[in-house]
Structure 1
Amino acid sequence: MSAANPFPPEVIAAVMRHMNTDHADDCLVICQGLGGQPTATAATMSGLDAEAMEFLAVVDGTEVPVRVPFSERLVERRQIRAEAARMYREACAALGRTPRPDAS
């Protein structure tokens, strides 16, 4: 853990596992709508720090890194869920899609 990343490796691993297992479609939507990769066909979360969530998106058959900033610097684990949900809702809006009702 450092000042740049208040989250220990086990927290990052747990968040990545949850996002990639339970919210794989959301990762893709976030990369398409907020990550500047509208033609991405797949995405997995690859990391996070206090400032952003990181993904690997597949664009034209090639993995490209995507970094999507949080709305504020995070300092507590509980903030991650709220930011992931916000990113998903904002990405849906940017893409003209209706978010799932449970995306809160």
Structure 2
Amino acid sequence: MSDPITPAVSDRICKHMNDDHASAVLVYAQVYGDRHDAEAAQMQAIDPQGMDLTVQANGETLNLRIPFDHPLQDSEDAHQTLIAMIKQARSAPKEA
């Protein structure tokens, strides 16, 4: 059984994403956050409705909220949703 998305689970997911999947976090900011100018991004929190990122773009630090397409049920749903989002983003046509 997966864990509900508590603050502790959010912290665990964010640490894992920032440490092991930083390039994916940047893609979330660029594609889903519509910040194609983002140079770096860190996941600060995740909850059933979305994720909060801190983004570096054009010498500024910005906070960005990216909503999910459905409310997450638990940590396994978060895992599968983040994977689906990165696959979709990487298969999308690039902007000219």
Q: After TM superposition, which residue ranges in structure 1, 4 or more long, deviate above 4 angstroms?
A: none
CA distance in 2, matches of 1:46, 1:70: 15
Q: Pick from 7, 10, 17: which aligns with 1:9? A: 7
TM-superposed deviation, 1:20: 0.2
Task: Say which of 29, 51, 54 aligns to 2:52.
Answer: 54
Q: How many pairs were matched up? A: 91
Higher strand share: 2
Using structure 2 for the length normalisation, give the TM-score.
Answer: 0.86
Contact 1:33 1:92 in 2 (8 A): no
User: What letter matches 2:47 in structure 1?
Assistant: D
RMSD: 1.4
1:67 aligned to which of 65, 69, 80: 65
Q: TM-score, normalised by structure 1?
A: 0.80
State the partner residue of 2:89.
91
Give the match for residue 45 of structure 1: 43
Identity across the alignment (%): 30
Structure 1: 5+ residue stretches without partners: 1-5, 97-104
Distance 1:19 1:95, change over 3 A: farther
